[in-house]
Amino acid sequence: MRRRDIVIQTLGLIGSGMIGGVVARLAVAAGMDVVLSNSRGPESLADLVAELGEHARAATPADAARAGDLVVATIPLHAYDQLPAADLAGKTVIDTMNYYPDRDGRIPELDAGTATSSTLVQRHLTGSRVVKAFNNIDFHRLATLARPAGAPDRSALPVAGDDQAANAQVARLLDLLGYDAVDIGTLAESWRSQPGTPVYVEPYFPAERPEGLSPDETYRWFLDTPGATVPADEVKKLADLADRDAAPAGG
């Protein structure tokens, strides 16, 4: 099946924070319906739904899982075992999660390098097809670097997964949202885009923060500083350069 033959009408989101909110905005702009959810309940998403308009609605995580032709799981990694596995059975699930020990607590398998965060998610979602994506770019650059297909300044994002049909479905979503996709291997190889690797965040946002800024000034600088185009061949090269021994544990 060609990627352009893949139809994605409704995107489900479990987690609607920074990355989830940007993905939802890009999806609505591309003509999709979105079903948003989080751990705080549908009423907490009223402002985002109002902003997105008639193509968006809020629901529970289980409802979002069932509604989506494709589902994005964008929650803190330590909560991955709360994803509704039964409702996600048969679905392709995009895992945007990264392992941050200061936030998630220590996870021995990730510290030892015997698993990646995505293999843990796949182990929990036994009936789903998990694909790693959206984990290597900050939310603001994700919003501002999106470009139409064929644009000379279009960026790419890495994708990792064990199921080729699921990978193609995610690549089609990326195409619709404004990005090329670069296959960097299986879920066991998804560490190539984890924090601390060459393709993580910095290529899209190479600026160095000025010294002496207040927290408010730092955030304004973060929002005002433009991102950098990272084409597919550069993403591939950076992913290939990754050294698991040199990067923090995770994936």
CA–CA dist 193, 181 (Å, integer): 13
Let me know the angle formed at the C-alpha of 28 by 26 and 32, rounded to the nearest 5 degrees: 115
* Tokens found for residue 132: 């790693």
If pLDDT is split at 50, 70 and 90, which confidence band does 7 have?
confident
Domain boundaries, the chain: 3-241
Per-residue pLDDT tens digits for 174-208: 999 999 999 999 999 999 999 999 999 999 999 99
Per-residue pLDDT tens digits for 131-143: 999 999 999 999 9
Fold of 3-241: Rossmann fold (3.40.50)
pTM over 0.85, yes/no: yes
If pLDDT is split at 50, 70 and 90, which confidence band does 82 have?
very high
User: Long-range contacts for 75-78 (Cβ within 8 Å, ≥24 apart)?
Assistant: 75/14, 75/15, 75/39, 76/103, 76/104, 77/103, 77/104, 77/107, 77/117, 78/103, 78/104, 78/105
Per-residue pLDDT tens digits for 205-235: 999 999 999 999 999 999 999 999 999 999 9
| pLDDT of residue 239 exceeding 70 | yes
**CA Rg, the chain, in Å?**
17
Half-sphere exposure of residue 214, counting CA atoms within 13 Å on the CB side?
Answer: 2
What pLDDT score does 1 carry? 43
Question: What residues does 180 pair with on adjacent strands?
Answer: 156
Amino acid identity at 57: R
CA–CA dist 49, 55 (Å, integer): 9
Choice between 10 and 250, residue whose per-residue pLDDT is larger: 10
Give percent above pLDDT 70 in the chain: 96
CA–CA dist 220, 22 (Å, integer): 18
What pLDDT score does 240 carry? 97
- Mean pLDDT of all residues belonging to the chain: 95
| pLDDT of residue 2 exceeding 60 | no
